[in-house]
Structure 1
Amino acid sequence: MISKSQSISVRLSEDDYAYLMAIRQNGALTQSDKVRELIAMAREAVGTESFARSFITASDTIAPYRARYKSPESGRSVLNDAVFDLLTESAALIQSLDGKSGAADLERQLFPVLTDLLRRLLPVLLTGSGGHVLNADQAELARQQLLNDFSHLNNATRKE
């Protein structure tokens, strides 16, 4: 039997839509990816140490802080959002592993979370594109430091 995907249409409240769009697990970018990831998380939610339950708990814990630190004048900061996402996913991973796995397994699962953080922040910090920061002066200082560090790494790599 050939597996066919089904198209659905759904109306969501603003809060539910914001929650759906905040899902970044497993690189979910499109609305369809996020719905599929939400379904996968729900399927996984059997047992107290499931990632899905841990993610929901971490999201609920972080939500008031995420709302508190939204700038009324200029909207969200890409830096704040990226860090809140890092905290949410990291906490969910740590809680869901619950000591069953070793440090190497936790590290393996944290790499995609860290990669997502870097992909979101490096364009902002290195080129000034890809999002909005609230403290342009500090972003510029960070950009100069990163460029300097990358230059040192590049020189060290060439010497080897």
Structure 2
Amino acid sequence: MFDSESEEEFIPAILNRPKVANHVVHESFTADTRDHEDHTFCGVMFDVQCKGVEHGGVPLEFLMITSLSIRGDLGPITVWRTEGTYKKKEHSQGLWELVYEGEHPPSRQEYTILDLQTPIRLMQGESCGLYVHSKLPGDDAIVYDNQRSAVTHEDQSFRVLP
């Protein structure tokens, strides 16, 4: 089957499908990490990972983190990210990228959503370190938990590490 003006061979659509989806699936989920109210401080660092298939993850091209939720006395909050892990980068300011900045009133009981100004895109198997920080004087700004296991949260596509 050829068009009289076309020299290219006709290929049925079923044989010419893209190998990667050409659309974004907007699925939102909450990674519920238990809130034991162990401590408060002005900042907390942790790693997040988009699980690869080799680690039991589901097939996907990338995972997008668009918000985080925190509680405490809050104040002027910033969120920073670094490639790979936060470990051994705690004092290397040049390796961190600002992804959120905003002022928040105290919210000791209810979580406050931080809609990231720069969403975090992780390809399969990639991870990054996150640093949530408050410039509020004192150490009651952000509530966090002690490390209780090697993995804080894990599902089929996402992992939060202490």
Q: What TM-score do the two structures reach when normalised by structure 1?
A: 0.22
Larger strand share, 1 or 2: 2
Instruction: Please tell me whether Structure 1 or Structure 2 has the larger radius of gyration of its CA atoms.
Output: 2
Q: What TM-score do the two structures reach when normalised by structure 2?
A: 0.21
Larger helix share, 1 or 2: 1
